[in-house]
Chain A
Amino acid sequence: MVERSSLGKLLVVIAALILVLAGNVFAILMGFLIVLTTALYIDRSAFRKLGKPRFWLFSLSVVLLAGLLLGKNPRPVFGIDISPDGLFAGLMMNVRAFSLVLGMVLISRSLTRARFLSLTTRLGLPHYIPAFQTALETLPRMKSAFKDSRQKGRLFGFDNLVDFILLTGELASRGCGIPERVMIFGITGKRKAGKTSLMRKIGQSASVEGIPVGGFIQERYSNDEHFSCGFNVVSVANGNTQMIAEKQGNAPFSFSEEAFINAASWLRRDAEGCQLLLVDEMGILEARGEGHAEGVISTMIKHPDKVWILSLRKDILDELMHSFGIKQERIINLDKENADRKGFVDAVLSALREISV
C-alpha cells in the first residue's frame, strides 16, 4: 500500500500520535516534537492545513476559557481572575491539538486516492473499485438526467425531483447494459412447483413449430450410497451434462467453476442459431452478479433479438427482476392457483413468432 520508506515515516507519525494521546505532559511534548520534525522533514506544505482562522480562533478560545474556568488559585489580570494552572492546561490542549491535526494531515497525505482504493480490496471489498469507476462515469450522466427532469417545467419542483430520482433508478438498473428490446420471460414458484417442466414444455412446443431452442436446464440428483446430492447442468441443444453443484450430507454446496464457464459457452454457441434460450435456476448467486449472470448478460447484450425464459428463485424474485430488467407482466408465478400456464406459453410463442417475422 505504501512504499517502504514512507511507511517508516508513517509509523513514526503514528507512534508520535499515540504518545500525544497518552495525555501525559511529557508524552505530549515528545509527540509534538516528533510530529513537528517529521512534518518539516517530509512535507512542509502540511502546515497549510493549520492556517485556517477557525482553528486558531478555537484554539485561542480554549486557552482563554481554560484560564478563566479551570484551575485553582486564580490571579487578577486586568481585573479578571485567571488561573495560571488553567492557562497551562489550555496551552497543553493546544499542543495536543496541533500535533494531532498535523499528524493526521501527514497520514491523510500519504493515503492517496489510488491507495485508498487498493485498501478497499484488501479490506474485502473486491467490487468497490469497479463501483467507484462506474460512479465516476455516471457523474456526467447525472447532469443530463437532471436536465431531462427539468424539461417539463421552468421551475424545479417536487415533480421534477420525482422524475430525477426515477431517472437515477433507471440508470442504476440499466447499468448492466441489457438492451430493452430483449424479451425476457420469467417462471417462478417454490421448489417442485413445475418451473423446469413448464420450461421444457415451452421448449418442446417451440421445437414443434420449427423454432430452434438452446440454453440449459438444471437437474437435481442424489447418490444415497455416498450421502451426496447436487445439480447437473444439461445443454438443451445437445444434451451435454456436467455437475455444477454438489454437497455431502449437511455440508454446504461446492460449485464447479468449469461448469459455469461451460454453461456460458453453451449460451453463446446456442445464441448464434437459436431464437429461444432457456436458463434454469437463477438464484442468489445470479442476483449478486455471480454464477450464470455474466454468461446470460453478455449473451443478451451480444444477441438482443432473442426470447429468453429464466427460471427464478421466488424468495429473491424482486432482486432478480431488478438485476435482469424483467417486467412483471412477463412473469408467471406457479404457486398461484389460477396461474395461466397456457396463456404464458402462448405469450412466449407469439413473441417468438414476432421475432421470426
Chain B
Amino acid sequence: MSLNSVSRITTNGLSTRRFPPAWREAAVFGALWGAGEITLGAFLTAIRIPMTGVFMACFGIIILISGQMLIKRRWFPLRTALVCAGLRSLSPGGVIFGPMFAIILQGLIVSLVFYILHKPLIAGVVSGFIATITSILQGIVVKLIVYGATLWDIYLSLLSKAESILHLHAGQGWIIVGLFFVLVGSLGAGAGVFGWRLGSAAIRKKEILRG
C-alpha cells in the first residue's frame, strides 16, 4: 500500500477510520503539557516572574523530548503542541493567540529538528536551544508588529547609547545581545539534555520491567 493511497483513503473519509493512535498519544502528552501550561504558566505569570515564556518553553521541551523518545512517532511533538495549544484556551483568557502560537511553534521546531537530526541527544539540545530563543524573538517580533518598524530604530538607538555609556566600541553591543541569546538558548539546551536524560532513563526502566 503506497503512502499516496493511504492519504487518499483518509481524505475520502471512510467509515473504517477511527481515532488514530498517533493522535491518542498526542492527546495524553498534550494533556500533561497543557496541565503545566494552565497551572505553572498561570502561576508564573501571576507572580510576574520575568521571562515566563522561556521557562515554559523549557518545560515544554522536557516533555516533548522525553515523550518523543518513548513514542518514537514522527511529528509527535507537533501533534502534542496542537493539543496543548487547544488546552491553553481553557485558561481564563480564552483563545489567546500569543501563547497558542508559541506552543505550536515549539512543537514544530522539535518535530523538524528530530526529523533532520534523528539522534535524541543532539536533537534535544538543538531544538531546546532554538525553541527558547524563538520564545524571546517572538516577543520582539510581536512588539515590532504592534508598534511598527520605528520601534526597531528606538532599540538600535538604545543599543548605541548603551555602548557609549559602557565605553564599548561600535558593534560590541551586538555581542552582548548575542551573549544574552546564547545564555537563553543554553537554558533551552539544558532542558533538552534533561528531557533526553529523562527519556533515556524511562526507556531503560521500561526495558528492565519488560525483562
**A residues adjacent to B (C-beta < 8 A):** 21, 23, 62, 65-66, 69-70, 89-90, 92-94, 96-97, 100-101, 104, 108-109, 111-113, 116-117, 120, 125-128, 130-132, 134-136, 138-139, 142, 158, 161-163, 165-166, 168-169, 171-173, 175-176, 245, 247, 252-255, 257, 260-261, 264, 283-285, 287-295, 297, 318-319, 322-323, 327-328
- Contact-residue bracket for chain B: 35 or more
Residue of A nearest to B25 (CB): A172
Q: How far is the CA of A328 from the CA of B4 in the complex (A)?
A: 30
A163 contacts across to B, CB distance below 8 A: 205
Asked whether B16 lies within 8 Å of A319 as measured between CB atoms, the reply is no
Q: Is B29 an interface residue (CB 8 A)?
A: yes
Within 8 A of A (CB), among B152-211: 153-154, 157-158, 161, 197-199, 201-202, 205-206, 210
With contacts A131-B26, A139-B31 taken as known, whether A112 is within 8 angstroms of B6 at the C-beta atoms is no
Q: How far is the CA of A269 from the CA of B198 in the complex (A)?
A: 45
B14 contacts across to A, CB distance below 8 A: 255, 257, 260, 290
Asked whether B83 lies within 8 Å of A288 as measured between CB atoms, the reply is no
Asked whether A108 lies within 8 Å of B96 as measured between CB atoms, the reply is yes
Q: How far is the CA of A112 from the CA of B93 in the complex (A)?
A: 11
B23 contacts across to A, CB distance below 8 A: 127-128, 130-131, 134, 289
Q: How far is the CA of A131 from the CA of B25 in the complex (A)?
A: 9
Asked whether B29 lies within 8 Å of A168 as measured between CB atoms, the reply is yes
User: What are some 20 contacts across the A-B interface (CB < 8 A)?
Assistant: A69-B154, A108-B95, A116-B95, A127-B19, A128-B86, A130-B27, A132-B27, A139-B34, A162-B198, A168-B32, A172-B27, A252-B4, A255-B5, A255-B14, A264-B16, A289-B18, A289-B20, A290-B16, A319-B72, A322-B72
Q: How far is the CA of A295 from the CA of B197 in the complex (A)?
A: 38
Asked whether B28 lies within 8 Å of A138 as measured between CB atoms, the reply is yes
With contacts A97-B146, A328-B210 taken as known, whether A172 is within 8 angstroms of B151 at the C-beta atoms is no
A112 contacts across to B, CB distance below 8 A: 94-95
Asked whether A131 lies within 8 Å of B150 as measured between CB atoms, the reply is no
Residue of B nearest to A139 (CB): B31
Residue of A nearest to B4 (CB): A252
Interface centre among B3, B16, B34, B97 (most CB of A within 10 A): B16
Q: How far is the CA of A165 from the CA of B97 in the complex (A)?
A: 29
Dominant SS among interface residues on chain A: helix
Q: How far is the CA of A134 from the CA of B30 in the complex (A)?
A: 10
B158 contacts across to A, CB distance below 8 A: 65, 69
- Closest CB-CB distance, B24 to chain A, in whole Å? 4
- Closest CB-CB distance, A226 to chain B, in whole Å? 18
Within 8 A of A (CB), among B73-93: 73, 79, 82-83, 86-87, 89-90
B3 contacts across to A, CB distance below 8 A: 284
Within 8 A of A (CB), among B124-156: 145-151, 153-154
With contacts A168-B28, A252-B8 taken as known, whether A290 is within 8 angstroms of B17 at the C-beta atoms is yes
Taking a contact as CB atoms closer than 8 A, the residue among A136, A138, A169, A291 that contacts B70 in the complex is A169
Asked whether B161 lies within 8 Å of A66 as measured between CB atoms, the reply is no
A166 contacts across to B, CB distance below 8 A: 70, 202, 205-206
